[in-house]
Structure 1
Amino acid sequence: MASPTCLPRGALQIAAALLALCLAAPLAAKPSEQAARERLDAIGNEIQGASRRLSTTREAQAEASQGLRRVETALADTHRRLDTLQAERNTLGDEIISLEHRRDLLEAERTDQVAAINIQLDALYRLGRSPQLKLLLNQDDPARLDRLQHYLNQLARARNARLDELARLNTALGETRRDLEARGERLNALASELAARSSDLANQMRERAELVAELDGRYVSEQARLAELEQDRAHAERVLRQVQEELARLDRPPPSTAIEQTRGDLPWPVQGSVASRFRAGDGVHRNGILIQAAEGTPVRVVHAGRVVFADWMRGFGNLLIVDHGDQMMTLHAHLQHFGVQVGQAVSRGDVLGAVGNSGGHHRPALYFEVRRGGDPIDPQSWIATR
């Protein structure tokens, strides 16, 4: 029989309950040694069975957690691609409006040039055929001859200039029309890709909902769920220590950004209602504040720094860490997707990502931490009062 000291806590509790039942049994007749041994064997079997069930549950939870990581990472990629496509579509829309305006101006100018050429042609027509020959034959007034010749020369130059301008306008108008056609085709392609990505997003969100429900269903009690959250928080602490150690091993420490001087004046990373405060939250939310906001709301940098971590982490979902120098870091969790990359320098007000519910969270919110020397401190003592 397995030693109880090697068993999980849940199995020990079951063992204790079973032993209590044995001790509470009626003592009317002293059991034989064989009967006692059978009863102990049954208890051992129950303990081993409980241990196997708990082990299976943990493995299933780990499998579901990996599935959640996979689908939420795919969701983040889809959201990021959708944002890129939408931004490109907006840019193309603006370019098309500009090109259409340019086309209208070119067409109006072309119409004016055609009208001007028609006037010049009409003037030449009024002079009749071969006006130069008539001038040569009309030798009675040399001054009048000079004036008419000067007029004809000006008319010819003006006509040639108008024709050149009309040719230029025709070329520009053709290019504008081709640009409009190319952008229209690109816009149609973007619309098709957006539709496909939106379909992918809907499927991924359904898969995520199923995984979250599966994970929730594996917790036999609220206490078990909180215990799992504490494990997630302990795992995060280990990762944060590693980040802190890596920064400490740098040949040159991150430069100071004078963040100490901004205490009490930092902007909020996102506007929303505070769902849990420092040391009041459960599990992974204990060391910071949870700010509820609409999904997709931009999350902004509170102070200049450099991105040192951007990855999915159990319990936190998409987690992004900014190092501000002076041993100060800010953490941003449950992001829908990342808008920056590891190693990227960021300035106050830059967009880091968007509010989401990654990490199995049920409602969109931003979890925000401030750490000094690796230790969490109350974020609300650093950000501005509102």
Structure 2
Amino acid sequence: MALITRKLLKVIISLQLIIWLPAPTRLYAESKTVQGNQKQLQDVQTHIKSLQKELTDKEATKSKTANTLRDIEHLISSIQHKILHLKQQQSEISNESARLQRSSELLRSEMLAKQIQLGKLLYFQNLISKSDYLSLFLKQRNPDEITRKLYYYRYLAQSRSAHIDELRNLHEQLANLILNQASQRDNFQRSQQEYFEQMQLLATEKAKHADLLTTLSRETDQKHKTLSRLKQDEQHLADLIKRLNRQLVQKKTVVPEKSSGTVILHNSQLPSATARNNSFASLKGKLRLPVRGELINRFGSPREGGGIKWNGLFIRAADGNEVKAIAGGQVVFAEWIRGFGNFIILDHGNDYMSLYGHNDTLTKRAGEKVRGGDTIAVVGNSGGNSQSGLYFELRHKGKPFDPLTWISIK
């Protein structure tokens, strides 16, 4: 994108300013510029198509990410609902655990009572040995007494067996209660741990997709802005090429430029050092021309070709003369471009810029800070100009204005 913008800047500057060249040189340069920059326009259009495709892909990825984020949020909501339900179950489990604890205590008490009763039965049964059974018959006592004692012995045996069975059942019930209580507690803890782990995982995924969605939104917004700017530049460039084509068609013959009859001014003073923090607007009427020489073309004077006027000044000067910065600022452009040769632009802040063309050598690079009076270039005739000198222009918010309204010539 930076490369396309840089190329477009060269094209626009060359198309806007090339018209000040001498007629034969300018016609040739204009023709070459139109032919060459048709390719530049195609490059911009190709880049627009590529950016549109990339934007479509980004939008698709953004939509997919948004859908994934929506699904994750639904899952998080579902798990949060399950955790809420689990908390309700926790209260129920606590109540059930208390009930089971009470039941366990009752069973233990009942088991203790049964154990005491069984102990008593065993005690009485041990008092009666097998010899007691024999003595009943050997002593030949009353049959009714024998029958009664046998019934009693049988009752003791049956009661002992019943107590043992009941005690066994109580043991089994208590074991089941303890097992059930432990199972409920384990199930709750396992479910709780599982839900918390899922929540942590989903929270991480949600943060990751949310960040991705934010990044994609920022990138697509930037690409929309870039695409809009490229389309505007494309239209502007196309309009400039059409206008220049119309001018070339109208020029049947090369007409030498006529003098306007204006007195040629001679400049002998150069810019002096100015503080970097001085606003450019405060220097109005105090500025000097950037080079010593003759002012042979002025802003707004008519040019051949019909309806075309000068956007700046041309100062005829000797090769090798130093070109000075008219005021403090920063170099924003310093390269060779078609039609202007070695070209340099200074940004003075508050949308004020100064432009210097046809230099033989540039002594400053883009990004460097300069002060008024600093040497920024050396006079020449680069870019196909027929005579040595400097093209000089002032602009505010991109529009050229008459430098002589700001400059004092001495």
Q: Normalising TM by the smaller chain, what interval?
A: 0.3 to 0.5
Structure with bigger gyration radius: 2
With normalisation by structure 1, the TM-score equals 0.41
- The higher relative CO (CA closer than 8 Å, separation ≥ 6) is in 2
With normalisation by structure 2, the TM-score equals 0.39
